[in-house]
A and B are shown apart, each in its own frame.
Chain A
Amino acid sequence: MKINDVILKTVVKGVVFIILTLGVYLFFSGHNAPGGGFIGGLVLGSGIVLLYLTYDIETIHRKMPFDFKKVAAFGVLLATGTAIGSLYFEAPFLTQTDGYFTLPILGEKHLSTVTIFEAGVALTVVGTLVTIILSISEDE
């Protein structure tokens, strides 16, 4: 049976970019505003779940060939990697550092290693969310 869902597909093609942009914004606004790695990862994961809902698993796997279990594993590895990295500088486990740097175009910016840790958290959340949704909603 052919299913006619042109409106849904056309709307989702535009809306997914808005959702992913909001996810990246929430990821980077995590220090002093609502947001952070967990919330950003949840929004990014719901954008990917929206793609899977609208299209099907084979199409999305052809365009986006990730194994999301490996994405989650890589996220945990990244987060614990930054945590272990502090041990080499005679600092306690999970110590994070920051500093103010002057970049060529952007001016003075506040950079910290918490961002790398948060990237690991976000990757873990995306991988776990998409794996759970795909596991409980498959038809066979």
Chain B
Amino acid sequence: MKEAVLLIALTLFMVAIGLQLYRVIIGPSMPDRAIALDTIGVNLISAIAIVSIVLKTKAFLEAILILGILAFISTIAISKYIERGVIVERKGNR
């Protein structure tokens, strides 16, 4: 029973990631793509957590942490590129 529920949840996460890939590729504007990529990161974290429950192991917890950090940094980088055109500024203008 528990295995079936976990596998159904994993399948639904994969379906959600597929739908967000559609939004990344087709997405009419760049902010759509940024939000879709961030959501893909969150769904991947949840999928890895479910895999770690299914396999009864703790070895994926570091992967979850690192994936969260990289999703955070990449969302900031994409947003800054969309808003200002540069990613790392030479000097602060404020």
> Which residues of A are at the interface with B, using a C-beta cutoff of 8 A?
1-3, 8, 15, 19, 22, 26, 33-35, 39, 43, 46, 49-50, 52-59, 133-134, 137-140
Contact in complex: B87, A46 (CB < 8 Å): no
Q: Tally B residues with Cβ within 8 Å of A.
A: 23
The 0/1 profile, CB within 8 Å of A marked 1, for residues 4-19 of chain B is 0000000000000000
Most buried by A among B69, B80, B85: B69
> Which residues of B are at the interface with A, using a C-beta cutoff of 8 A?
59, 62-63, 65-66, 69-70, 72-73, 76-77, 80, 84-94
Q: In whole Å, how far is A137's beta carbon from the nearest beta carbon of chain B?
A: 4
User: Which A residue sits closest to B63, measured CB to CB?
Assistant: A34
Q: In whole Å, how far is B73's beta carbon from the nearest beta carbon of chain A?
A: 5
Q: In whole Å, how far is B44's beta carbon from the nearest beta carbon of chain A?
A: 17
Interchain residue pairs A-B with the least CB separation, the first 7: A56-B89, A139-B86, A137-B87, A56-B92, A58-B91, A137-B88, A34-B62
Query: At the interface, is chain A mostly helix, strand, loop or mixed?
Result: helix
Q: Can you spell out 8 A-B residue pairs with CB atoms less than 8 angstroms apart? A: A1-B93, A15-B72, A46-B69, A53-B73, A53-B76, A53-B87, A57-B89, A139-B90
Task: A26 to B91: give the CA distance in the assembly, Å.
Answer: 33
User: Which A residue sits closest to B70, measured CB to CB?
Assistant: A46
Contact in complex: B59, A34 (CB < 8 Å): yes
User: Which B residue sits closest to A49, measured CB to CB?
Assistant: B73
Q: In whole Å, how far is B88's beta carbon from the nearest beta carbon of chain A?
A: 5
Task: A34 to B89: give the CA distance in the assembly, Å.
Answer: 35
B93 contacts across to A, CB distance below 8 A: 1-3
